[in-house]
Structure 1
Amino acid sequence: MISFLLCLAILIGGYFVYGKIVDNTFGPDDRETPAVRINDGVDYVVMPQWKLFLVQLLNIAGLGPIFGALQGALWGPVVFLWITFGTIFAGGVHDYFSGMMSERNDGGSIAEITGKYLGPVMQNVMRVFSVVLLIMVGTVFAVGPAGLIVTLCKNNGMSGVLATTLFWLIIILVYYFIATFISIDAVIGKIYPIFGICLIIMAVGVIFGIFTNPAYTIPEIWEHFGSMHPSGTPIWSFMFITVACGAISGFHSTQSPLMARCMKSEKQGHFVFYGAMVCEGIIALIWAAAGCSLYEITGGLNTGLAAALAEGQSAAIYDVCSKTMGGVGIALAMIGVVVCPITSGDTAFRSARLTLADWFKIDQDSYANRLKLCIPVLGVGAFLGIGNALGFINYTVIWRYFSWTNQTLAMIVLWAASMYLFQEKKNYWITAVPATFMSAVSATYFILAPECLGSLLNSKTAEGATIYNTAVAYPVGVIFAIAMLAIFLHATKKRTAKNA
């Protein structure tokens, strides 16, 4: 428990100390923000700071810091270190600069921002990449909650159309269309703060339940510093990919521009962007602690947690909440596993619309222009979702690539932020160091993961356990990271010489 409390204190302190260093490095000023200058009553709308924070938190969080943290807890309390220091030095930096660079560029989407600082080739890659990723996220966060609602209906004796996935999927997609089409403060700005508070209350309830029940003990990092993963999966770099939203996640960079278009002052960035990421890190730390403390450890391995997760991530959330909070926890768990994914899905589709609008230079202040983008974006999502519900489309395999692409996106955004800081003659190492680190993470995972090159390079034991080819993956990861840093430094020298 001591190591958990230390990590919690470091996270909170990180917001006030390192977060302020990041803020001062960027240098917010009193210039007129896009929300004030462009204000179109749809996407550019001034909202109060407390609402910006809660909407941003739910945009970037949803169930991400819960699912990822529980999966990360399979490695044991060592995951606390990644959540803590990843949030402070990587995730908070990534979210802050993705939001504030958008703020300085008329609230532009991350694809346009990346293109401005890394060139037109990367801009086009990021445009396609972002739209595909966002539609994929939105679709999965429609199908998943629909299935959960059906399960709840059947468990309560309901039948007929109310107990079909297709019915609830259509309902969710209709909501997505409304939330994507109308003003951001009409639906998202009103209901997101409520569910953001629910997400925080759920985390507080979980840790309170652990502290007040003598049967639960949070293990110490120094007593279990090695891997406790039952499958023997290496900590590097699987844990760093698995725990994404609770430490650093590229998906956040697609969401930050939504709030960059709603800020009254640049000086709100520290609280809204860096602060929301620290809050998400705290939520992830709590759920990782729950995963490490509530379940049986056999032979130094988290076998009990593995068994709970085998029943499904939503079932594991339900189990944690019921064990720590009883009936109230069950109610909060139901809100969490159904509502939180939906609130990530609607902003994913909204971000896809805005990315396309920036790409094709289509103003979004008229109903007709918004329909031109809402209909195809939601149409593709509906086709994939309904096709999956009817059984003739299976994108499960494609979705397995999300973890890697998510962290690769974070890597690219950090390199773009580094170039921005270089051009502004500011300390670019604050972003270049985590960018280099995430380059190593992304490359190593690509070599090791079964869904990537691991299927060719890894081997199996006679019992069927995977032997990971770390002898190849680890050096490749380091070499790739060094190469990316060298390319960046070479680019800065070329620009310096060009401007001389």
Structure 2
Amino acid sequence: MYTFMAGIALLVVGYFTYGKIVERIFGVNEQRQTPAYSHSDGVDYLPMNKKKNMLIQLLNIAGVGPIFGPIMGALYGPVAFIWIVVGCIFAGAVHDYLTGMISIRNRGAHLPELAGKFLGNGMKHVVNAFAILLLLLVGTVFVTSPAALLHNLMDGAVGLGVILGAIFIYYLLATFLPIDKIIGKLYPAFGALLLISAVGVGVMLLVTGAPIPELTLTNMHPASAPIFPLLFLTISCGALSGFHATQTPIISRTTQNERHGRKIFYGMMIAEGVIAMIWAAAAMSLFQGPVGLNELLASGGPAAVVSEASGLLLGAIGGTLAVLGVIVLPITSGDTAFRSARMIIADYLKVPQKKLLNRIWIALPLFVVSFALTKIDFTILWRYFSWANQSTAVIALWVGAMYLFVAKKNYWIAMIPGIFMTMATMTYILNAGIGFGLSLNVSYIGAVIVTLAVIALFYRSAVKARANEMPIDLPMKDWEQAA
């Protein structure tokens, strides 16, 4: 229990200390007009207040990742707490803050456009395809997982297909309509449900004296699977998630002032880390250790763990509310996943989004493909999602490092986690069955070679960009032309 409580405390302290350091390094300009005003279109670009942006950002980024990921990561034991806390403070929150703020400085640009600007035009096309793939996987995972939870909650009284259809209809409306019409109005209620469920589970873990394992040298990692790289891909959204890089531009287009950035981007990632800590602790303590947890996962997946833990800790009524809070998370990320995909494609094809018809013909094919993907087994989808998710985070961290290098600022805050996750994602895809299937030792060697090559390419490009005085921020006089 002490490890769990210390982890929560460190996350809060990290926001007030390292968060301020990152903000100072980036350099906030409170006088600079944000895209919400300079590029206003009444659909995606429009100013919303800080509290609403914070809540929407939290619900955008906190899908099933900070719950399902930590639940599966709990199989690795208390070492999972280390990755959630350290990863969240020094990687995930930095990642979210930099992608959000750099997007604000570049008319609310999405990751493919930023990658093209800072990593070369060829990367724009690669990242565009990669981001669309990730968002389709996210949207699909975040349709199937809440549908399964609702189906179980209602004891099968309503067919799974009917629930899937209802969620898809909501996603369609949230994707097409202006952001303040559905998302801006529903998220406050959804947010209250989310906070009640997460806080309720966390408090009851402490009140009931749940045997949350402590971090010790002998109890750090009871699982047989290697920690590296699997842990760092299994627990993604609760520590570091590339999906967030696709979501922050939604809010960068509605942020009123740059000084709000730390609370919106860095702070909401810390909040997600707290949610991840709570569910990792619940999974570790309520099912007689890794063996019992593994059996429950094998029989019903992470959704079964959520239902069982909620009922054990909060009773029938409280447990139902907690499950509803968990259901809210993927739904409020799935809707913005499709919205982000629509915006990224529109930016890539240079199609204005003020007309509803333009939004419809871009988004409809996404829903058709996503519906087809719902027929694939969830565990397979999750493996591809995990790798695509962390690979996107790697790209975003290198974009942040390039921005700071050219600006002659401390780029190591992005480069160090970027190097680490480049190693992790490359090791995984070289070793995994869904990748090249090489032995772990060969995968380590291959990952080191690729990572060193990436570092060399980064410095070659960064030095050249700094020498040529690359304009890292879009000058305000260019807004009209860029639009």
TM-score, structure 1 normalization: 0.89
| Cα separation, 2, equivalents of 1:426 and 1:142 | 41
Residues 313-337 of structure 1, C-alpha deviations (whole Å, 9 max, x = no match) = 1110011111111124322233134
Aligned to 2:363: 374
| Cα separation, 2, equivalents of 1:239 and 1:44 | 37
* Alignment partner of 2:275 out of 283, 286, 293: 283
Residues 11-44 of structure 1, C-alpha deviations (whole Å, 9 max, x = no match) = 1111011111111111111211000112211111
Aligned to 2:473: none
* Alignment partner of 2:191 out of 182, 196, 199: 196
Matches within 5 A, 1:184-333: 184-214=179-209, 216-229=210-223, 232-297=224-289, 302-310=290-298, 311-333=300-322
| Contact 1:25 1:427 survives alignment (8 Å) | yes
Q: Cα 1:260–1:368, aligned 2, differ >3 Å: closer, same or farther? A: same
Residue 410 of structure 1: how far off its partner (Å): 0.4
* Alignment partner of 2:434 out of 437, 441, 451: 451
| Contact 1:73 1:289 survives alignment (8 Å) | yes
Matches within 5 A, 1:141-180: 141-155=142-156, 158=157, 163-180=158-175
| Contact 1:69 1:243 survives alignment (8 Å) | yes
Q: Which moved more, 1:441-450 or 1:137-146?
A: 137-146
User: What letter matches 1:493 in structure 2?
Assistant: V
User: What letter matches 2:4 in structure 1?
Assistant: F
| Cα separation, 1, equivalents of 2:388 and 2:466 | 32
Q: Cα 1:380–1:474, aligned 2, differ >3 Å: closer, same or farther? A: closer
| Contact 1:72 1:242 survives alignment (8 Å) | yes
User: What letter matches 2:310 in structure 1?
Assistant: C
Aligned to 2:461: 491
| Cα separation, 1, equivalents of 2:451 and 2:46 | 40
Aligned to 2:345: 356
Residue 154 of structure 1: how far off its partner (Å): 4.4
| Cα separation, 2, equivalents of 1:359 and 1:244 | 27
Aligned to 1:108: 109
Gaps of 5+ in 1: 458-468
Aligned to 2:481: none
| Contact 1:42 1:183 survives alignment (8 Å) | yes
| Contact 1:227 1:234 survives alignment (8 Å) | no
| Cα separation, 2, equivalents of 1:166 and 1:33 | 42
Aligned to 2:50: 49
Residue 482 of structure 1: how far off its partner (Å): 2.7
Q: Cα 1:146–1:7, aligned 2, differ >3 Å: closer, same or farther? A: closer
| Contact 2:427 2:446 survives alignment (8 Å) | yes
Residue 47 of structure 1: how far off its partner (Å): 1.2
| Contact 2:108 2:249 survives alignment (8 Å) | yes
| Contact 1:8 1:285 survives alignment (8 Å) | yes
| Contact 2:346 2:353 survives alignment (8 Å) | yes
Residues 41-78 of structure 1, C-alpha deviations (whole Å, 9 max, x = no match) = 11112111111111111111122101111111111111
User: What letter matches 1:192 in structure 2?
Assistant: Y
| Contact 1:314 1:337 survives alignment (8 Å) | no
| Contact 2:48 2:254 survives alignment (8 Å) | yes
| Cα separation, 2, equivalents of 1:337 and 1:425 | 42
| Cα separation, 1, equivalents of 2:365 and 2:111 | 21
Aligned to 1:409: 392
| Cα separation, 2, equivalents of 1:425 and 1:241 | 31
Aligned to 1:462: none
| Cα separation, 2, equivalents of 1:190 and 1:273 | 20
| Cα separation, 2, equivalents of 1:120 and 1:279 | 35
User: What letter matches 1:17 in structure 2?
Assistant: T
Q: Which moved more, 1:3-12 or 1:54-63?
A: 3-12
Aligned length: 468
* Alignment partner of 1:475 out of 445, 470, 478: 445
| Contact 1:444 1:477 survives alignment (8 Å) | yes
| Cα separation, 2, equivalents of 1:477 and 1:331 | 44
| Cα separation, 1, equivalents of 2:21 and 2:359 | 39
| Contact 2:75 2:293 survives alignment (8 Å) | yes
| Cα separation, 2, equivalents of 1:346 and 1:450 | 31
Aligned to 2:477: none
| Cα separation, 2, equivalents of 1:140 and 1:351 | 16
RMSD, aligned α-carbons: 2.0
% identical equivalent positions: 46
Aligned to 1:92: 93
For the pair 1:428 / 2:411, whether they are aligned, the reply is yes
Residue 490 of structure 1: how far off its partner (Å): 2.3
TM-score, structure 2 normalization: 0.92
| Cα separation, 1, equivalents of 2:346 and 2:304 | 39
User: Secondary structure of the equivalent of 2:255?
Assistant: coil
Residues 194-215 of structure 1, C-alpha deviations (whole Å, 9 max, x = no match) = 222322222211121111113x
Q: Cα 1:181–1:21, aligned 2, differ >3 Å: closer, same or farther? A: same
| Cα separation, 2, equivalents of 1:73 and 1:373 | 39
